Amino acid sequence: MKKVLLSGFEPFGGESINPSLKLIKRLENERWDDVEVHLVQLPVVFGESIKKLKKVIDEVDPDLVIGIGQAGGRTALSIERVAINVDDAVIADNEGNQPIDRPINSKGPAAYFSTLPIKRMMKAAREAGVPAMISNSAGTYVCNHLMYGILDLLAGTDKLGGFIHIPYLPEQVVDRPLQPSMALETMVKGIKAMVMAAVSGDKDDKIAAGALD
Amino acid sequence: MKKVLLSGFEPFGGESINPSLKLIKRLENERWDDVEVHLVQLPVVFGESIKKLKKVIDEVDPDLVIGIGQAGGRTALSIERVAINVDDAVIADNEGNQPIDRPINSKGPAAYFSTLPIKRMMKAAREAGVPAMISNSAGTYVCNHLMYGILDLLAGTDKLGGFIHIPYLPEQVVDRPLQPSMALETMVKGIKAMVMAAVSGDKDDKIAAGALD
Amino acid sequence: MKKVLLSGFEPFGGESINPSLKLIKRLENERWDDVEVHLVQLPVVFGESIKKLKKVIDEVDPDLVIGIGQAGGRTALSIERVAINVDDAVIADNEGNQPIDRPINSKGPAAYFSTLPIKRMMKAAREAGVPAMISNSAGTYVCNHLMYGILDLLAGTDKLGGFIHIPYLPEQVVDRPLQPSMALETMVKGIKAMVMAAVSGDKDDKIAAGALD
Amino acid sequence: MKKVLLSGFEPFGGESINPSLKLIKRLENERWDDVEVHLVQLPVVFGESIKKLKKVIDEVDPDLVIGIGQAGGRTALSIERVAINVDDAVIADNEGNQPIDRPINSKGPAAYFSTLPIKRMMKAAREAGVPAMISNSAGTYVCNHLMYGILDLLAGTDKLGGFIHIPYLPEQVVDRPLQPSMALETMVKGIKAMVMAAVSGDKDDKIAAGALD
């Protein structure tokens, strides 16, 4: 049985909630068939986030590592295709760090592609009735930092890694009604479908899901 | 005990689902305390929609009549403030009618304001954790037509009326992931909170919730 | 030769620029054929704005009165279809007034439709290469207040009146690059085309240009 | 005096206009001080686009190569930070090719960062009154393909390269008024400011301009 490690983040940027934290807490109570799921909560801090995750990876020895984070303003579950080797923070992280145009790993490659079967995961979520898409940028903040860190750690191993961005929860935007959101139950359904698709083999489906610009 | 009549619409515009229809079907099974709720399904047809609703109003004799319809592209439950006396259809209705700049009632006023306590309803939905807003336009299609028709029918009576626009459901936009959506359960929670707020008195709360433009 | 009175507004809401003010200043230097154009600058103040405009209407005796105002966040010139009889201010005006759900004219109708040939104006702007649309809500702030005031003043006369909302100028959003904008020259081209269409007869063209919601 | 080569693209995706083509044609007539500007028109074709550009690079021997392309739906000039090593076409190119998840260079790195001083270019455009931003994804279509190709060609040389995405022109969206656009003159002003900033030294300014997600 495959082992999957899913991470969520603490709140940041003035929010009192982080949907990825709510999500992993909710997934603790979820019944999973044919897969062993581990969950970890990470600080929204450059450096510390990946350090803490590395420790858990060493303990758990998972087959797949999937970071999950909030993408305020997005409408769908967004499976990230690529992480780039740069930190460029428009706001400070939860410990006050605000790197600008700093490489994550000065000896690392410019980018890492997700090693998850992202197209099959997208398809699985959609088939479960959940809006999902491929995203070609995880930003330049702690989410991209963590995704790059995961793939840098797993490079050269047969472990797969990647990242999923999720929308705001409805309760986060009650007073900002022009912001899109997604219910926790919808996220749970989509993430479960994606995890099951991810463990079902590492060769991806060939589905056009790029962006024109 | 007050009687509330809620209407939903059939699918239109190439959609196979109308969230307002799903919603009223779902509300049938909902337990309501201290309010008697009646539900009716209407055709997306100029004229016919309000005719059918009038029949049900005559039978049921409700205290409040609230039309509900789909507003594709919106992010929040949108309580309409006003209905205007014009049909201007950019697509044909479900029977092929496509009126352009035609008054709904050639002897009627230019507009009717909702007689529901819209600000209190907005507040109640938000307190229930559901994104909600006041909208200052119900468009110029069948939804606005029905809202105008409801308020035209109820004018001069002590019955209250209005309209609520609701977002797409997630399953409608799985392949259009840039379109916002809202889960049915979130809608149910919001609409229930709004209905309970609406029957709790007709004087509205004074809350700024307008639009700059 | 027909006389047209165009009004622009002072900056408000923390902006240092109002595109409608820049526009009318720019239109002063514009050559107009077969139409006499008068321009006036108005304060963003409930009550005062329409009072000042009324004075100029009395002096100039125009055939058409067209208010112009900023609609931050819009992408196209937006010809307003209707003004509603309510002030609901989410921010204070330039003199600190912030009315909530107050009728503009407690004895006036719920709404006034623009008496301009709005569809022909839209068509003319588009033919001049300028994005233009019909808007079904002018909001509930000073712009709607002025539009309602214009139509209330002109009701029962053969003078035509209405309102056009315009986007931000590029220089307003250099640091807010996700906000749409429109160049002043594009606005000039569009407004000129609209004015010429407006004075060319009062019967409107029949073009579907409504909104579904 | 530095030599700059700017490329524009033919129309694609059902459009009859490509703003980048209009732009380079317009820039031919522009007066440039202290910089020698060369312009080339490229086909929207995987492979062919970079082949044709390579020829011109060999002839002209420019110091900087900047590709320019249309990004429909964007509001600002978008200076691309990074090109990724994948083609994933949701529509066919102008010769019918539609690669899915195919590396651009199977031996190349996962990504190339722009070697232009992108932050200084952004700042220069903004100071000229033109909305400009850093974008962290050039998509997965021909624009990203060309940008990757440029940086792959120039790797190991002292020539600088990168890519700028530009919005629709107003005339492209007259009938799609919810789509943002930018006037050609605004683009010219912004691109000129960017080019002058780019040739003024290769060390970039340190300005936070990243994305949270």
Which residue in the set A74, A82, A90 is minimally distant from D208, CB to CB? A90
> For residues D78 and D75, what is the distance between their CA atoms, to the nearest angstrom?
9
Q: H-helix or E-strand containing C70?
A: strand C64-70
Number of neighbours of residue D55 by Cβ within 10 angstroms: 11
> For residues A49 and B2, what is the distance between their CA atoms, to the nearest angstrom?
55
Number of neighbours of residue B23 by Cβ within 10 angstroms: 21
Q: What pLDDT was estimated at residue C201?
A: 79
Query: How sure is the predictor about C53, in pLDDT bands with cuts at 50, 70 and 90?
Result: very high
Tell me if B50 sits within 8 A of B153, measured CB to CB: yes
Domains of chain A: 2-198 (3.40.630.20)
Q: b vs e for A18-47, b when ≥16 Cβ sit within 10 Å of the residue's Cβ?
A: bbbbbbbebbeeeeeeebebbbbebbbbbb
Residue B77 pLDDT exceeds 80: yes
pTM: predicted TM-score of the whole model, two decimal places: 0.97
Write the CB contacts of A55 (distance below 8 Å, at least 6 apart in sequence). Answer: none
Tell me if D100 sits within 8 A of D140, measured CB to CB: no
Helix (H, G, I), strand (E, B) or coil at D70: strand
* Residues in D touching A136 (Cβ below 8 Å): 84, 137, 139-140
B180-189, C98-107, D201-210: range with lowest mean pLDDT: D201-210
Pinpoint the alpha helices (H) of A84-210.
118-127, 142-154, 184-198
Query: How sure is the predictor about B142, in pLDDT bands with cuts at 50, 70 and 90?
Result: very high
Backbone phi, then psi, for A189, in 5-degree steps? -60, -45
Q: What pLDDT was estimated at residue C102?
A: 98
The residue assigned the tokens 């993408």 is A71
Show which residues on chain D lie within 8 Å of chain A, measured between beta carbons: 13, 69-74, 81-82, 84-91, 98, 100-101, 109-113, 119, 134, 136-141, 143, 165, 204, 206-213
Residue of B nearest to A209 (CA): B175
> For residues B198 and B77, what is the distance between their CA atoms, to the nearest angstrom?
15
Tell me if B101 sits within 8 A of C204, measured CB to CB: yes
Q: What is the pLDDT of residues A90-101, one digit of tens each?
A: 999 999 999 999
Q: Which of these is catalytic: C15, C48, C145, C165?
A: C165
Question: A177 and B129 in contact by Cβ < 8 A?
Answer: no
Closest CA to D19 of D142, D207, D184, D135: D184
Q: What pLDDT was estimated at residue D201?
A: 79
Residue of D nearest to A82 (CA): D84
Two structure tokens written together for C154: 């002109």
D48 is catalytic: no
- What interface predicted TM-score (ipTM) does this complex get? 0.96
Amino acid identity, residue B99? P
B145 is catalytic: no
Write the CB contacts of B29 (distance below 8 Å, at least 6 apart in sequence). Answer: none
Helix (H, G, I), strand (E, B) or coil at A191: helix
Write the CB contacts of C145 (distance below 8 Å, at least 6 apart in sequence). Answer: C46, C49, C50, C87, C104
Q: What is the pLDDT of residues A115-139, one digit of tens each?
A: 999 999 999 999 999 999 999 999 9
Q: Which of these is catalytic: B48, B59, B143, B171?
A: B143
Radius of gyration of chain A (CA): 16
**Long-range Cβ contact pairs of A49-58 (< 8 A, separation 24 or more):** A49/A9, A49/A142, A49/A145, A49/A146, A49/A149, A50/A145, A50/A146, A50/A149, A50/A150, A50/A153, A53/A7, A53/A146, A53/A149, A53/A150, A54/A149, A54/A153, A56/A5, A56/A7, A57/A5, A57/A153
* Residues in B touching A177 (Cβ below 8 Å): 75-76, 78, 131-133
Residue D4 pLDDT exceeds 90: yes
Query: How sure is the predictor about A201, in pLDDT bands with cuts at 50, 70 and 90?
Result: confident
Burial of D163 per CB tally in 10 Å (0-12, 13-18, 19+)? buried
> For residues B144 and C209, what is the distance between their CA atoms, to the nearest angstrom?
15
Tell me if D173 sits within 8 A of D89, measured CB to CB: no
What's the whole-number mean pLDDT along residues C183-195?
98
Strand-pairing partners, residue A41, are: A8
Q: What is the pLDDT of residues D77-107, one digit of tens each?
A: 999 999 999 999 999 999 999 999 999 999 9
Tell me if A100 sits within 8 A of A73, measured CB to CB: no
Tell me if A77 sits within 8 A of A187, measured CB to CB: yes
Tell me the average pLDDT of chain C.
Answer: 97
Tell me if D49 sits within 8 A of D149, measured CB to CB: yes
Residue D33 pLDDT exceeds 80: yes
Q: H-helix or E-strand containing B55?
A: helix B48-60
Task: Supply the angle between the helices B48-60 and B142-154 in degrees, to the nearest 10.
Answer: 40
> For residues C148 and C104, what is the distance between their CA atoms, to the nearest angstrom?
8
Q: H-helix or E-strand containing C21?
A: helix C19-28
Question: C177 and D133 in contact by Cβ < 8 A?
Answer: yes
Q: What percent of chain B shows pLDDT beyond 70?
A: 100
Tell me if A46 sits within 8 A of A145, measured CB to CB: yes
Question: D179 and C131 in contact by Cβ < 8 A?
Answer: yes
Residue D209 pLDDT exceeds 80: yes
Residue A187 pLDDT exceeds 90: yes
D143 is catalytic: yes
Question: C130 and D180 in contact by Cβ < 8 A?
Answer: no
Q: Which of these is catalytic: D10, D59, D95, D143?
A: D143
Strands A160-166 and B35-42: unpaired
CB–CB contacts below 8 A, A to B: 76
> For residues A81 and B138, what is the distance between their CA atoms, to the nearest angstrom?
39
Q: What percent of chain A shows pLDDT beyond 70?
A: 100
Which residue in the set D88, D110, D208 is minimally distant from A109, CB to CB? D110
Query: How sure is the predictor about B201, in pLDDT bands with cuts at 50, 70 and 90?
Result: confident
Question: D178 and C133 in contact by Cβ < 8 A?
Answer: yes
Distance, in angstroms, between A201 CA and closest chain D CA? Answer: 18
Which residue in the set C98, C112, C213 is minimally distant from B139, CB to CB? C213
The distance in angstroms from the start CA to the end CA of chain C is: 40
CA C63 to chain centre: 16
Burial of C73 per CB tally in 10 Å (0-12, 13-18, 19+)? middle
Question: D170 and C75 in contact by Cβ < 8 A?
Answer: no
Q: What pLDDT was estimated at residue D120?
A: 98
Question: C181 and D182 in contact by Cβ < 8 A?
Answer: yes
Residue of B nearest to A179 (CA): B75
Q: What is the pLDDT of residues A134-167, one digit of tens each?
A: 999 999 999 999 999 999 999 999 999 999 999 9
Show which residues on chain A lie within 8 Å of chain B, measured between beta carbons: 75-76, 78, 125-127, 129-133, 170-171, 173-183, 185-186
Tell me if B198 sits within 8 A of B64, measured CB to CB: yes
Strands B77-80 and B160-166: antiparallel
Question: D75 and C170 in contact by Cβ < 8 A?
Answer: no
Query: How sure is the predictor about B73, in pLDDT bands with cuts at 50, 70 and 90?
Result: very high
Residue D202 pLDDT exceeds 80: no
What's the whole-number mean pLDDT along residues C77-101?
98
Write the CB contacts of C178 (distance below 8 Å, at least 6 apart in sequence). Answer: D75, D76, D133
Q: What pLDDT was estimated at residue B6?
A: 98
> For residues C157 and C88, what is the distance between their CA atoms, to the nearest angstrom?
28
Burial of B146 per CB tally in 10 Å (0-12, 13-18, 19+)? buried
Subunits next to A (3 or more Cβ pairs <8 Å) are: B, D
